[in-house]
A and B are shown apart, each in its own frame.
Chain A
Amino acid sequence: MSRLILPLLLGAALSAAPAEIRQYATRVDILPDGSGKATATLTVAGDPLETVEIPVGFKARGYALAEGPQGLRLEPHGSAVKVILPAAPGPHTFTFTFTALDAFIPEAVPEGEKAKLPANSRVVRHAFVQTFEAPIGAYSVEAALPAGYRFQAIKEALPKVRKTESEPRVRLGAAGGRQTATLRVNNLKQGDAAAMTLEAMSSSRSPLWFVAGLVIAGLYLFLFRDMVQTRR
């Protein structure tokens, strides 16, 4: 009996190597209604038929597998998705889509407290905590704003940029005429958070500064004209 159990235990111990996410890239196209159409592409190494719970970093629903190896299945699990790997050995690369909820929302101001953002500001927030034993090789999230909006400021970007890194944690850019913010972290270890919070506003500027600037400049030129008048 022990001759049978020992190889089984050994086999189990050897096969219990933790699942490893080698690459995890998400793109979220934010819609004016506050939700986002997200597409996540991952490369995961794990045991055959192993179930891997993958957080998506947003409140989410409507998970659907878009592309992947035969036998790979998804099971929704709140703000995470359970992925059942196929029987064939990996690593496996697959893509799934989901709807990110509350991806683009006005600031929530608790009653009796002061607002920290103007009424027309929206907040884009993503927060992901790495729960896997093995580090994630490359993690990235790209959020694209609806047309007519731009990022006002990057309020939070985690983890903090290390002294040896030359790239900012969150980089702004553009794709298809829309402004994007991309969070990128390499070698994300267990327990580390990868998060970004950005404030977005309408991309059109108020004419107030233009009017005020012209009035003040005109007043100065009139009131201080003696500076350049020839004294008689």
Chain B
Amino acid sequence: MEKMVLSSKTREAQSPTERWMRYLGFPGGILLFLILYYLPAGAGLSGAAQTGTACFALALVWWVTEPFPTYVTSLILMFLLLVTRTSPAKPIMDVLGMEVIWLNLLAFILSSMLVKTRLAKRMALWLIIKFGRKASWALLAFVILQLALAPLIPATAARCVMTLPLIIVVGTIYGSTEQTPNAFGKNLLLLNLAGISVLTSVTMTGSSANLVAVGFIQSMTGHRVYYMDWMVAGAPIAILTMLIMWFVGRKFLFPIAPEDQLPKVEGGLELVEQQHKAMGGFSFQEKKALVIFGVVLFLWMTDIFHMRWFGVEISAPFAALVGAVLVLFPRYGVLQWSEADIPWHLLIFSAGAYAGGLALEDTGAAEWGVRTLFGGMNLKSIPFGAAFTIITAVMMYSHLLTTSKTVRTIILIPIIITMSKALGWDPVSMALPAALCIDWVVGLPISGKPNVILFSTNQYTVGDNFKYGMVTCTVGMVLLVISAATWFHWIGITPSFWAMPK
């Protein structure tokens, strides 16, 4: 438990189907690239945007089928972006200096500290003793933990960094490691991935993109969305989705075998309790780790006051940087550099993925895709409920096209408001439910910062992430549509579900 390393070894293909997927994934990616590259150009699309889409599609097929390790695909993607003239060299190289990459790196220094001092082990054992006597309850405990943290720490990546060591150790207790990943580990990691993102939509201050959407609604419709308006609409859907995923994940998506339902520590729960007792009181190193983590946590939770207190805002990566300095401080710190387990291969994967995502945004390909999708629909002859379903579905699933929640909000929310006005619907009836989907960025390992961080555990594939993410989004969609037909209408957010445009 104390010696967890995030190695760069490619996972062995397990079944014949997986081997065939790997074998055919390589030419499949190239075929998709060639089709998109040589397709007749859309009028609103630049050459670079079309080529960028082709490159990204190739990488996506390779990330999912894994003919190469994901980081090799990222390196190939970066080279392709350059030679196809999608992006110049500088923006491609600059991604390695992005906030998310730094946060990833610093997160692993802090995680290494929690693992080395055995604080993560102590917390995980306590969690198992209290709530985790069965796999299902251990998973539920994490849903509750993420729900409690969401309003306190607005940065999703910070929440992920904070809970990652706990997730890894609890996974290990239930027998899921990088070398031997099991269904419990997949459920645990993907449930946390979904929880971190989906539960962000509980409050309108959950992310800055939520606030941008609220700003658009107010400036373009004159309707002010209050904190409670958002929460009343958003919280039940987010919480119910997570409870459904807690059930669906372990029963249908990645069924947990009966033998994996209990902690896999030799000696069973008694041994877990014995181990917890054997750890005794907090050691001096653990106390130091606790103080350092407390400092970082304090900075994450109080970011809105920093400007007043310090005259400067210490963002999430810089708060983690302060922690890393304390952790690595000579003589008084907790770790030496060589003890920090930093998965560089994952940082390279993230860098390539971000370079591809940014290319789609910078060349206008993502924006063009979304507009073309909306432009091709005739929503004038269908009832409100059908138009609502289409518009929220586009908002929900469009996160697969872009890596930035804010960019997606800036593109889509004004279009949705304008379209609703043109159709004669109250714009808030479409825009507010659509805004509730902003944070649901759960489909791919590159869709959000927590996704990148959790993927680094190497315990699930891009395909697993896609499957879990799509089911999560679909559950959310179904709940949104049911809500629009029932209580959204009763509390005055939406008109009658079957009303026709005026």
Q: Do A and B come from one complex?
A: yes
SS of A interface (majority): mixed
Residues A228 and B19 in contact in the complex (CB < 8 Å), given A172-B364, A179-B43, A220-B27: yes
Interface string of A193-232 (1 = CB under 8 A from B): 0000000010101000110011011001100110110000
Bound Cα distance A212, B269 (Å): 58
Is the CB–CB distance between A153 and B19 below 8 Å? no
* Known contacts A166-B411, A210-B38, A228 near B23 by CB under 8 Å: yes
Q: Are B33 and A213 touching (Cβ within 8 A)? A: yes
User: Is the pair B44, A172 in contact by a Cβ cutoff of 8 Å?
Assistant: yes
Q: How large is the interface on B (under 10, 10 to 19, 20 to 34, 35 or more residues)?
A: 35 or more
The docked-state distance in angstroms from the alpha carbon of A146 to that of B411 is 30
Also in contact, A174 and B23, with CB within 8 A (given A153-B363, A209-B34, A213-B30): no
Are B43 and A166 in contact, with the CB atoms below 8 A?
A: no
Q: Which stretch from B45-53, B98-106, B254-262 is at the chain A interface?
A: B45-53
Closest chain B CB from A203 CB (angstroms):
7
Give Cα A173 to B27, complex, Å: 33
Q: A172-B44, A228-B23 are in contact. Are A217 and B85 (CB under 8 A)?
A: no
Say yes or no for A90: interface residue by CB 8 A criterion.
no
Chain A CB within 8 A of B22 CB? yes
Q: Are A220 and B26 in contact (CB under 8 A)?
A: yes
Which residue in chain B gives the minimum CB-CB distance to A205?
Answer: B38
Return the chain A residue nearest B414 by Cβ.
A166
Q: Is the CB of B410 within 8 A of A172?
A: no
B contact residues around A171 at 8 Å (CB): 44
Q: Whose C-beta in chain B lies nearest to the C-beta of A117?
A: B85
Which of these, B30, B219, B414, contacts A217 with CB under 8 Å?
B30
Q: Compute how far the CA of A173 lies from the CA of B372 in the bound complex, rounded to whole angstroms.
A: 12
Nearest A residue (CB) for B418: A166
- For B45, what are the chain A residues with a Cβ–Cβ distance below 8 Å? 172
A167 to chain B: closest residue by CB: B414
User: Interface 1/0s, chain A 163-183, versus B by CB < 8 A?
Assistant: 110101001111000010000
**Cα of A55 to Cα of B92 in the assembled complex, Å:** 38
Q: Which of B403-427 contact A (CB under 8 A)?
A: 410-411, 413-415
On whether the beta carbons of B410 and A152 are closer than 8 Å, the reply is no
Cβ contact within 8 Å between B38 and A166: no
Pick the residue among B19, B34, B364 that contacts A213 (CB under 8 A). Answer: B34
Residues of B within 8 A of A217 (CB): 26-27, 30-31
Write out the residue numbers on chain B whose beta carbons fall within 8 Å of the beta carbon of A84: none
Residues of A within 8 A of B (CB): 118, 150-154, 163-164, 166, 168, 171-174, 179, 201, 203, 205, 209-210, 213-214, 216-217, 220-221, 224-225, 227-228
List 25 A-B residue pairs with CB atoms under 8 Å apart, sorted by A's residue number: A118-B85, A150-B47, A152-B47, A152-B48, A154-B46, A166-B414, A168-B367, A172-B44, A172-B46, A173-B43, A174-B43, A205-B38, A209-B34, A209-B37, A210-B38, A213-B30, A213-B31, A214-B30, A217-B26, A217-B27, A220-B27, A220-B67, A221-B23, A227-B19, A228-B19
In the A-B complex, the 6 residue pairs with the closest CB atoms: A174-B43, A166-B414, A217-B27, A152-B47, A153-B48, A217-B30
